[in-house]
Structure formats: structure tokens, C-alpha cells
Amino acid sequence: MTTFDATEVRLSYANPLVEKLRDEGELVVGELTFLMPTSFGFCWGVDRALAMVEEARKEYEGRPMWLLSSIIHNPRVNQDLRDKGIRFLKGPLADEAPEDAPAEKLGPSDVVFIPAFSAEIEDMKRLEEKGVQIVDTTCPWVIKPHKRTQKYIREGFTVVIHGTVGHDETRATCSLVEASEGRFVVVHDLEETEILSAAVEGELDEEALRGGLHEEAFSSVFEFPGDLARIGIINQTTMLATESRAIGNRLKTAIALRDGDEGLAESFRDFDTICRATQDNQDAADKVAQRNPDLFVVVGGFDSSNTRNLARVGDAAGVPAFHIEGPECVGESIRHRERNSGAIIETRDWLPMEGPVTVAFTAGASTPDTILGQVVKKIAERRGENLPSNLGGSGSPVDLL
Ligand code: SF4
């Protein structure tokens, strides 16, 4: 499905306040100034996945429908699909207990959606064996690292994945490597890359390498140090692009130190597989952060990788950045995800209650405009500012053209 119509999807999540901010980039309400980047929110891949679901709901009307797991990492969107009668086979929204797994009872009349970030090979095989109608919404940008992975394996490289162990996309990539009898190592950040680089350089033994990385960061077969002889890097599509580049450079240096510059062509590959939407949203968020807002509110699912990395863009610019899921997180304190620990915490005194305040926003690729709009409105209300009536408040209307 290269062409699709996401009009229906966009309309169902449209919000006039966000539209205004998208068009103008800035909105002043009393003492509040809201800033919005030029790129944020639903990406092409999410539009496509949700449009495919809507199309399939019409085409296969009346048949039982299932999502393998969350279609995208946004709780509201997944709940909306559930409300439309689509049930979940795996993940936190799965209806049945694992011992009563409905996947075993599926048959040709069932329709199963594969999420935008793809699926593990074993799951795909099981579904094919059951003869179900598969609707594969895997984003074409996610296919890119898969293709590169297979190329590396064919050429005898160990795949180094800059990603998050346990994230659906990285799990799918790892399963592809296992099924192809290849080798992989997952590094999450520069700190872990330092450990891997030291092992490549011969400065660390296997125990120290394994101890320094996540216990599931290695393929089931991984021979040390032989499987570090030739490495090829890919990225989970939604990682922080600046960090991905730094990771590539650090590992390149490690190989050059070990094999000399002439060894690089033989032993090192690096291929940028960050998706365009992720890159655009991060670049735009950085530009807004450079305007020195008083705070940066990043809206998206707590388990959304691209949203987490947008919050890190704010951190890098030195702006207080809060990653929240939606309007329910906004109150006297703000409920947000702490970057280093991943804990969901509450912070008080997060919004100056007097004087002019500039608040910048962005939203992850899986965040509907409706949620972002509710967050903006709630922040205005906390400061006692009334939005124009045609933007969700009761103040004088503004021109929407
Ligand atoms: S964030 Fe990128 S890879 Fe993920 S669905 Fe959107 S376009 Fe595709």
C-alpha cells in the first residue's frame, strides 16, 4: 500500500487549536506564549497504518479482528481501536490470560493486523500456519533496517543495533537475525557503545562485555571475540539521530584502532536507518528549543521511543523538558517520565504561575492532535488564561484562516 487516504484518520483526531499552532508556529494567550515546531505528531507511517486498519474494517466487516499487539505506541489510539471491536492478542491490552492465549484458536475467518513496527518472525510464522487473513501495516521505513540486516548477515557481519532491548521494532529485528542464523549486539546509548568499543579494541573480556550490556543484548549464538571481527550498524528507526551518528563514529574508531584505517573497508559498515519523520521531528524540536522557552512539553506514550527521544532534544538544549502522555498528567504537579530511570514521577512547581511564560510543545509520531490540543488547553487553564471560543475556550474567537 504505497498510496493511501488518511483523510478520515486525520479528521477523527483533528483539533482546531493544534491546527492554528501548526499553521502559525506561535500563539499568544494573555501572558502565555505557546511555540510549536514545524514538524510534530502523526507521521506518514502512522497515518498509513491507521488508514489500512480503517480500510480493512470495511473490507472484512463482520469477521473477528485482532491486533497482534499495540498498532502504535499510544494508549488512546489503541483504546480507540479496541472500542471499535478489535481485540489484542499480545501486550497490555490483551483480553485473555497468557494460558488462554486466543492465538491458538485463530483460523481463516480471523483478520490479524501486524503493527507499524513489524512483528517477530515466530509470530508471523504462527499466524501464517493458522491461515488467518493478515493485514500487515509494517511501516516501509522499518523494512529498511531489516533489508540492511539481511545484507550484513549475507556478507558475514555481526549486526550492531542501536536500539532498545524489548522495544517491538528491535525485537522484530533481533528475531530476523536469529532466523537468518546471524549474530547481533544491541547498544542503547553511548555509554553501552563505550563498553562494546573497548571489547572491539581488545581492552575488555567477554565477561565484562556481557556484564556491561543488557542481558538480552546478544544473539543466542555469540562467540567472543570472533563475532566482533566484522560489524555493521543499523538503528531502530526512532532513536536520537545525533546519538546514532556518535555511536557509529565511536565504533568506527574502535575498528580503526584495532585493524588500522585500511581494515575499515573489510570490517566496518554503518548505515543510517533513522526514519525521515523521526529526523524531521527532532530537527524541528531542536529549533524550537533553541528559542529558549521556559519549558518544553513533549506529548506521547510513555513507551514511545520517538517521543522519549524528542524529550532528550529538549534536555540537550538545556530546556526543562517534560515527557507526558496526555492532559491527565497536567495539574498542580506534572506527571512525567524521568529520562534516566524511566520512572513515571510527579514534579511540583513546574509551571511559573506569575509573569510571562513561554511553553514549547512537540508530540511523538504516534500522538493524535486531539491529545496535544487538550494538553495545551489545560496548561492555559492552569494559568487562568481563556482560549478563543473557536479554539476550545470561551474567549473572543480568532481568525482561523
Ligand atoms: S516513526 Fe518512522 S518508522 Fe515509525 S511509523 Fe513513523 S515513519 Fe514509520
pLDDT digits (tens, 9 = 90+) for 236-253: 999 999 999 999 999 999
Query: In a 3-state reduction of DSSP, which class is residue 366?
Result: coil
104-122 pLDDT, tens per residue?
789 999 999 999 999 999 9
> What is the CATH architecture assignment of 7-43+276-391?
3-Layer(aba) Sandwich (3.40)
Q: Which residue has the least CA distance to atom 7 on ligand 1?
A: 45
The CATH number of the structural domain formed by 44-139 is 3.40.50.11270
Task: Give the Cα-Cα-Cα angle 71, 338, 246 (nearest 5 degrees).
Answer: 80
Q: Is 169 labeled as catalytic in the residue annotation?
A: yes
For residue 10, CA distances in Å to 19, 37, 224, 295, 345 come to 11, 19, 50, 28, 32
Question: Residue 101: what pLDDT?
Answer: 60
Please indicate whether the domains covering 7-43+276-391 and 44-139 agree at the CATH topology level.
no
Point out the ligand 1 atom lying closest to the alpha carbon of residue 306: 1
Instruction: Map grid coordinates 491527565 to a residue.
Output: 328
pLDDT at site 396: 78
Is residue 237 within 6 Å of ligand 1 at its C-beta? yes
Residue 222: is it exposed, middle or buried by C-beta count within 10 angstroms (0-12/13-18/19+)?
A: middle
Give the active site residue among 120, 169, 192, 325: 169
Distance CA 56, CA 48 (A): 12
Asked if residue 46 has its Cβ within 6 Å of ligand 1, the reply is yes
- pLDDT tens, position by position, 55-105: 999 999 999 999 999 999 999 999 999 999 999 998 777 766 555 566 678
Q: What is the pTM (predicted TM-score) of this model? A: 0.92
- Range of weakest confidence among 160-164, 359-363, 388-392: 388-392
Q: Which residue's C-alpha comes closest to atom 4 of ligand 1?
A: 45
User: 39 CB less than 6 Å from ligand 1?
Assistant: no
The edge-to-edge listing of strands for the beta sheet with 65-67 is 87-88, 65-67, 111-114, 133-136
Ligand 1 lined by 280 (C-beta under 6 Å): no
| pLDDT of amino acid 98 | 52
CATH number, domain 141-270: 3.40.1010.20
> Within a 13 Å sphere around the CA of 173, how many CA atoms are in the beta-carbon half?
38
What are the residue ranges of helices labelled H in 220-343?
241-259, 264-267, 276-289, 305-316
| In the chain, domain spans | 7-43+276-391, 44-139, 141-270
Average pLDDT over residues 347-353: 96
> In angstroms, rounded to a whole number, what is the distance separating the alpha carbons of residues 325 and 378?
13
Q: Beta strand 344-348 with 333-337: parallel, antiparallel or unpaired? A: antiparallel
Q: What sign does the dihedral 73-272-277-281 (CA atoms) show?
A: positive
Task: State mean pLDDT over 30-55.
Answer: 96
Q: Which atom of ligand 1 is nearest to the CA of 44?
A: 7
- pLDDT at residue 4, as a whole number: 82
Please tell me what DSSP assigns to residue 91: S
